[in-house]
Every structure is written in structure tokens, then in C-alpha cells.
Amino acid sequence: MSKDLSQNLQKAPQRALLKALGLSDEEIAKPLIAVISAKSEIVPGHMHLDTLTDAVKSAVYANGGTPVAVPSIGICDGIAMGHAGMRYSLPSRELIADGVESMLLGHAFDGAVLVPNCDKIIPGMLMGAGRVNIPAVMVSGGPMLSGFYNGRKISFSSVYEGLGAVQSGKMTLKDLSEIESRACPGCGSCCGMYTANSLNCLAEALGMALPGNGTVPAVASERLRLAKKAGAAVMNLVANDITPRMIMTKAAFMNALAVDMAIGASSNTVLHLFAIADECGVKLDLNTVQRISDGTPNLCKLSPASHYDMEDLGRAGGISAILNELNKIDGLISGNALTVANAPLSQNFEDAEILNGEVIHTVASPLAPYGGLAVLRGNICEDGAIVKRSAVAAEAMTFVGKAKVFDCEEDAVNAISSGGIKKGDAVVIRYEGPVGGPGMREMLAPTAALAGMGLDKDVALITDGRFSGATRGLAIGHVCPEAAAGGKIALIKDGDKIEIDISKGKLNLDVNAKEMGIRAKKLKPKDSNPGGWLLRYANLVTGANTGAVMKKKF
């Protein structure tokens, strides 16, 4: 696109502005490459992205392009967690996608290297790349190293679980203070198989990132070399006019979903893969998710479900080894899918091996014969709900409990903290969906508090909102339709019996249809009365079962 600026006589005024940036005629004549970085000083996952941006730029220069750094916003979910700021996290995905579109098309770039690292920034940038459809490569900032305390690994989720342990008398305040200071030792995305790292891994399977993107530590020099490879790769894509929609095909999304199930990724990946696919003209649905999950063995159990973290996964062979192992199942992996290396995906994994069988299991001896996520349906989730079943204890896969109902996260957390939740309770948190929140807040505080108290196997959590990838236990999110959209989760009352059977994909309220009808007639849905641009978001966002994407027509 930049040729119109560099070669068109009528674009002399635009060239004058490029020269104001210090660009020479020779630089203006070369392909113009945006290096879109989410660098900021408030997000640990992004604090070091300027070093990666510089590495990308050096490779773009070396391969005949002119790189230009441009910014992206990014919210740290951990810092936003548990207060009003979390309402802006998922909606920011749309702002990021819009920002990528605006910067790329507004300045006639020929290609882009995307440099994100955290939860909404990764899908937001990929959504923008799919929408604009000019050559693009993603290279993330990489995972944080684990913290250590008392001879064991700890992470961000350890702090939240520590709160529950203190409140139940299982931990001292001194221990919690030490964990707080040691849990997050430096830059990078939090070290477990949380949402950011899940998506960084899936970007490899999707073909939009090079091998190692999901697992090379943020502090490793290998991460800088990976950034340089990304800079070289985008120039190859520009030369061959290979665009994101040629890479992010239906086959690519099927590959990503298979890896998703094998690694026990965050439940939020469903939201984000659906949204990225939507921008690429690929349709995904929950039935597809369930089908792939049923046919994909779970090969990894990583933090928070175990003590293994992203660095361990990388040392064990990484996503390439997992792809190679999954490829042993006929028809599961499309090895001929194109990648940003301008080569088939099979080239990334054909020589990869499992180097630690404790971290990556084989398809012949998996942790479970089915994938890490499961879709549930029933009379309070007719359009589906999602559970990370790889993080659910075997004895909690079936559950019958009495409802304790709350209309916001804060009320539920207060009840848990004050001892108001007991074994056998089914905590229902509603009006936290995309519309009702608005913003579908990610909730780690209630799940971690229960885990810290030792109740994660004995209490269910059910919400039309969503849970952090750091969550473990019987946490069911994405209940659709949500309460604010007339969903039957709004009809549940304290004391109602709720039945869960994850193996059968069932979530039901044991209340007869007549009583449900009576409740529906009396229902007065809660109005969140959003202000600012969240008002616009609440009026335009769709349900979680479609990825919480924005309406195309209104």
C-alpha cells in the first residue's frame, strides 16, 4: 500500500510528513512495516516489549523494509481484577482490534509485526490483522519465570489462594506477605497455562507465530532471536503477498482447537478463537468445540492444575512436540496448513520430540482421553456454558448442590470470605455477562478463595461471566443466555437444587417448568446502568457463545 505514497506525484505532501519523521527517500521507497507494540509501564507482561520491538525493527531493516513502531493499548487483567477496571478488559479487545485497523490502514502500511503479550491484546491484534488482511506476524513477549517460596514454585494465582488460606487460618499473614513479594519475579505473562500463555501457544498452532512463541521465557535471549526471525518472516510474507486470511483458515482454527484441548488451556480461549475466526470469515460454534474436545486427548496438566509451568513445557518440547504427538491421531491435525514461515505447519513439528514425559504425555498414555474444555448444556444454559474440566478434580465431575445466588462478584466474594459458603453449595454469580456486567469480568478472587480454603472440590461456581485461566476447581462460566439477556440463570433462587454432570455435558436446575414460568413473569432484570463507552459496548456486544463479538448490523 505504501507504494502509492512513495511513487505517486500527488502524494508529495504525505512524503513531506514521512520525511518529518526522519525517513529518507530510500526508506520511504521500501515496504513500510508497522511494529505494533503494547509496551507500557503498568503491565508486567509488556514492560520489556521495547526490546523486542527493537529486535524486530533490526531484522526488518536487514531484510529490506522500513520498520515504524506504533502503539497499542493493553490492560493487565491481574491489576484490573476484582474491581470496576475488569469491566474494561474484554471490551478492550475490540478497541485493540479497531486500533490495529486504524493504524495500518490510516498509514498505508505494507505489513505488520504484532508484539503483544497479555490476555486481550493477543486476540485483539490478531482480530485486527484478520480484518485488515495485510501480511502480518505475531511475536509475543513470552512467559514470566516462576516464583519460589519454601522450596516450591509459586505464581500470581498463589497470592489469591493465599488470601483464602489466611482467611481460613491455614496460612499466616507473614507467609502471605512473602508470597506476595516472590510470586511474580519479573517481566512476562504470568507463568501458568493462564489465558495469555494459552493464546500465545495457540498462535503457533494457528500459524500466526513461529515455534517457541508460547513457551520461550520473556527474559531469555532466545526471545530476542525469535523477534528477529519474526521481522525477517514478515518481509518474506510481503514479498509473496501472503496475508492472515490465507493462514487463519478453517483448518488452522481446527488445529488451534485441538492444541487447546491437549494443553488444558484457559476457557477464555473459546471466546477469543471465536472472535478471531469471525474477523477471518470462519464460523465456529460450541458443537465444534465439544466435538474436537471429545476427540483430543489431554496431554498436559500445567499450572494452576499442577506445579509445571510454561518454562517446563518449553523444555519438554513445547507446542511443536504436542502437534507432532497429536498428528499421530488420523485427521486431527492439518499439517499442510500455511504458517507465517511461508511453509506448512508440519515443517514446524515433524522433527519435534517429547523430552519430558512427565510434562507432555503421549496419545497412547494421556492424562485423559478427552480435551481440557467441555461444553455444558441444560435448562439454565440452553446456549451453552464452558468448564475447564482438566482443572476439575475427578470426584467433582458430578455434583449436586444447593444454590447460593449473588447478582455481582463482590457479594459472592464477601460471602466466601465471611464463611457464608459451605460444602455442597453451588455459588451462582449472575449479571456479569458481556451485556450485564457489562464487560464479562474475569473472576479469580472467588475461585482462588475457595481453593485456598480447601473447598474447590466441594463447592461449584456458576456464572454468566467468566473465570481467569488461573482458576482451578468446579468453575463453570459463559452461561448463555446471560441473565441480562433474559437467560434462565436469572430465575435461580437460594436453596434451589443444581445438578452438574461434566462427563455427560449437563448443567440443570431442578425446578419444574411451571415454577420457572411463574418466576419469569415476576422477573425484573438488574440494570447495570453503564457509563462511558461501556454503554455503547453493552448495546452492541453479542453473547459469549458467539465470542462476545460486536454486532455487524444495528
Distance from C-alpha of 68 to C-alpha of 27, rounded to nearest angstrom: 11
- Name the pTM for this structure: 0.96
468 is catalytic: yes
Q: How confident is the model at residue 378 (pLDDT cuts 50, 70, 90)?
A: very high
In this predicted structure, what is the pLDDT of residue 60?
Answer: 98
Each residue's pLDDT tens digit, 195-210: 999 999 999 999 999 9
In this predicted structure, what is the pLDDT of residue 123?
Answer: 98
Distance from C-alpha of 174 to C-alpha of 452, rounded to nearest angstrom: 16
- Of the candidates 427, 385, 425, the one whose C-alpha atom is nearest the C-alpha of residue 405 is 427
HEC-encoded secondary structure of 493-529: CCCCEEEEECCCCEEEECCCHHHHHHHHHHCCCCCCC
Position with higher pLDDT, 161 vs 291? 291
Each residue's pLDDT tens digit, 97-122: 999 999 999 999 999 999 999 999 99
Q: Is the confidence at residue 347, as pLDDT, over 90? A: yes
Find how far residue 397's CA is from the centre of its chain: 24
> Which of 19-23, 81-85, 461-465, 547-551 is predicted with the least confidence, judged by mean pLDDT?
81-85
> What is the mean predicted confidence (pLDDT) over 380-390?
95
| 148, 193, 319, 492 from 304: Cα distances, Å | 15, 7, 18, 30
| 10, 156, 186, 203 from 383: Cα distances, Å | 54, 32, 41, 27
Average pLDDT, the chain: 95
Position with higher pLDDT, 276 vs 447? 276
Contacts of range 178-181, beta carbons closer than 8 Å, 24 or more positions apart: 178/149, 179/147, 179/149, 179/154
Q: Is the confidence at residue 8, as pLDDT, over 90? A: no
Question: How many CA atoms, within 13 angstroms, populate the side-chain half-sphere of residue 229?
Answer: 18
> What is the mean predicted confidence (pLDDT) over 52-66?
98
Cis previous bond, 304, omega within 30: yes
- Asked if 314 contacts 355 with a C-beta cutoff of 8 angstroms, the reply is no
List the catalytic residue out of 189, 468, 503, 528. 468
In this predicted structure, what is the pLDDT of residue 161?
Answer: 86
> What is the mean predicted confidence (pLDDT) over 180-187?
96
In this predicted structure, what is the pLDDT of residue 468?
Answer: 81
- Of the candidates 301, 268, 146, the one whose C-alpha atom is nearest the C-alpha of residue 200 is 268
| 160, 162, 163, 171, 181 from 177: Cα distances, Å | 12, 9, 10, 11, 6
Distance from C-alpha of 250 to C-alpha of 181, rounded to nearest angstrom: 44
Q: Is the confidence at residue 470, as pLDDT, over 80? A: no
In this predicted structure, what is the pLDDT of residue 259?
Answer: 98
Each residue's pLDDT tens digit, 228-254: 999 999 999 999 999 999 999 999 999
> What is the mean predicted confidence (pLDDT) over 483-504?
97
Distance from C-alpha of 109 to C-alpha of 509, rounded to nearest angstrom: 53
In this predicted structure, what is the pLDDT of residue 5?
Answer: 83
The residues that bridge with 403 in the sheet, in sequence order, are: 426
Residue 165, C-alpha cell as written in the block: 488460606
Each residue's pLDDT tens digit, 488-498: 999 999 999 99
Each residue's pLDDT tens digit, 354-368: 999 999 999 999 999
The continuous run of DSSP H or E covering 403 comes out as strand 398-406
- Of the candidates 500, 407, 471, 477, the one whose C-alpha atom is nearest the C-alpha of residue 164 is 471
Each residue's pLDDT tens digit, 428-444: 999 999 999 999 999 88
Q: Is the confidence at residue 469, as pLDDT, over 80? A: no
HEC-encoded secondary structure of 87-135: HHHHHHHHHHHHHHHHHHHHCCCCEEEEECCCCCHHHHHHHHHHHHCCC
Q: Say what percent of the chain tops pLDDT 90.
A: 88
